[in-house]
Structure formats: structure tokens, C-alpha cells
Chain A
Amino acid sequence: KQEVTQIPAALSVPEGENLVLNCSFTDSAIYNLQWFRQDPGKGLTSLLLIQSSQREQTSGRLNASLDKSSGRSTLYIAASQPGDSATYLCAVGTGANSKLTFGKGITLSVRP
């Protein structure tokens, strides 16, 4: 059974800092890996999707990497802003129907 771990559960950083959020998974036979953002009381918004054949994806200040062999992914946020404060969830897609297994998320607080 696939298990996805995100540590730490919470992180507080000053504005402007570059930061890395980590995600690990136990089964390397994945179709893809997604990073989502969730604001309090809201649904999930997809940030980046990395296919199993890719090593990284970039969108603006965000960069996600994937190392299937070691079962790890990182989300790099450059020049963090208070608006980046949210919970970031990592999800691994397995099977032809892309069923997602989620980590519990990392709650990020960016202090002005």
C-alpha cells in the first residue's frame, strides 16, 4: 500500500526566504506526483504535476522535483511571500485511473 509522508507538519518562515517542502512515498511504481495548495476552508488547487518520466516542473516561483528511485519529491518556493501561507499537499498517482494517495500536508506560514 502506498504511503505518502510530509514532514514537518508546520513551518514558519520570514518573508523573502527560499524554502523547500519535502514529500516521500513508499512505492516507486507511480504514474505521477502532484503538489496542491489548500487555503483554510477551501478546496485544493493544483500547483504542479510531474509525470513519472519527468524529473522536475516549474511554474513561476515554484519548482517541483521528483526522484522516483529514492521515493522523494521536493517543492521549492523562491522568495516566499505572505500570500504563500497555506497548506501544501503532496499526492502520488498510481494505477491507470490516477487514484491519488495524499500526504497529510505541510502548513506554511510566511511572516511579513
Chain B
Amino acid sequence: NAGVTQTPKFQVLKTGQSMTLQCAQDMNHNSMYWYRQDPGMGLRLIYYSASEGTTDKGEVPNGYNVSRLNKREFSLRLESAAPSQTSVYFCASGLAGGGETQYFGPGTRLLVL
């Protein structure tokens, strides 16, 4: 079991460029989440998907879009990157219905110049 995997591990973008962060889980979880982690701010929820075919905004959704491609995969897209989006991005997954442990991927470090 690979758990939660994320690609790429590290990316440098110029302001205005676009990119997609990929996330996949092999634990048959229904729920998937995208967080960003910034120094002094902690982890904040960007978007989540309670089940295949559904997505909802979290605390900081502006500037991002997501796609729940299938049960395994949940991608995060930056259409026009800004320096404020420099961060470490974590994907997580969990069973549906609340009350479950969330399992995190290793993260993607993104630097926007």
C-alpha cells in the first residue's frame, strides 16, 4: 500500500503560470482533502471532496480549482499562480461519514516567483 501519493514533490513557477498538483490514494477512501501549510498560519483547508463527483470549498479556496477524477484521484489546479500561493500543499484522505482519521501525503513544495 502506497497510502497517499502526491506529485510533483517540488515545483517552481513564475507568476501567471498554471499547474496541476496530483494526488492519489489506494485505501478506498471516499473523502479527500487539499490543505496548504504556511509558516505561522498552520494548515488550512482549500477544498475537499466528500465522495466521487462532489467537491466543496474550504477555508481558502480563492485562486484554486479541484477535480475529483475518480475515487482514487483528486487534483488541485492553480490557473494563474501568484507569489501568495507559495506554500507546501498536502493532500489527505479518509473514510466518509465523519469521525475518521485522515491520512496525509508527503506534500508538494511550491515556489511562485
A residues whose Cβ falls under 8 Å from a Cβ of B: 4, 31-32, 34, 36, 42-46, 49, 51-52, 89, 91, 93, 95-105
Chain B 20-52 interface residues, beta-carbon cutoff 8 Å to A:
31, 33, 35, 40-45, 48, 50
**Are A93 and B98 closer than 8 Å at their CB atoms?**
yes
A-B pair count, CB < 8 Å, reads: 68
Closest to A103 in B: B42
Closest chain-B Cβ to A65's Cβ sits at a distance in Å of: 18
Q: Bound complex: CA of A95 vs CA of B31, how far in Å?
A: 13
Contact of A96 among B35, B45, B94, B98 (CB under 8 A): B98
User: Would you list which residues of chain B between 81 and 102 have a CB under 8 Å from chain A?
Assistant: 90, 92, 94, 96-102
Q: Is the CB of B98 within 8 A of A102?
A: no
* A25 vs B12: C-alpha distance when bound (angstroms): 36
The 4 closest A-B CB pairs, nearest first, are: A104-B42, A44-B104, A102-B43, A43-B104
With beta carbons under 8 angstroms apart, the residue of A4, A46, A96, A103 that contacts B102 is: A46
Min CB gap A64→B, angstroms: 13
In the complex, A49→B94 CA distance in Å?
Answer: 13
A105 and B99 within 8 A (CB) = no
Taking the closest CB of chain B, its distance from the CB of A3, in whole angstroms, is 11
* 10 contacts across the A-B interface (CB closer than 8 A): A32-B98, A34-B102, A49-B101, A89-B43, A97-B31, A98-B99, A98-B102, A99-B58, A103-B42, A104-B42
Evaluate contact between B99 and A93: CB separation under 8 angstroms.
yes
Residue of B nearest to A53 (CB): B99
Q: Among the listed B31, B35, B42, B58, which residue makes an inter-chain contact with A98, where contact means beta carbons less than 8 Å apart?
A: B31
**Contact in complex: B50, A104 (CB < 8 Å):** no
Residues of B near A52 (CB, < 8 A) are 99
Is B106 an interface residue when CB atoms closer than 8 A count as contact?
yes
Q: Which residues of A contact B58 (CB under 8 A)?
A: 99
C-alpha spacing A104/B105, complex, angstroms: 19
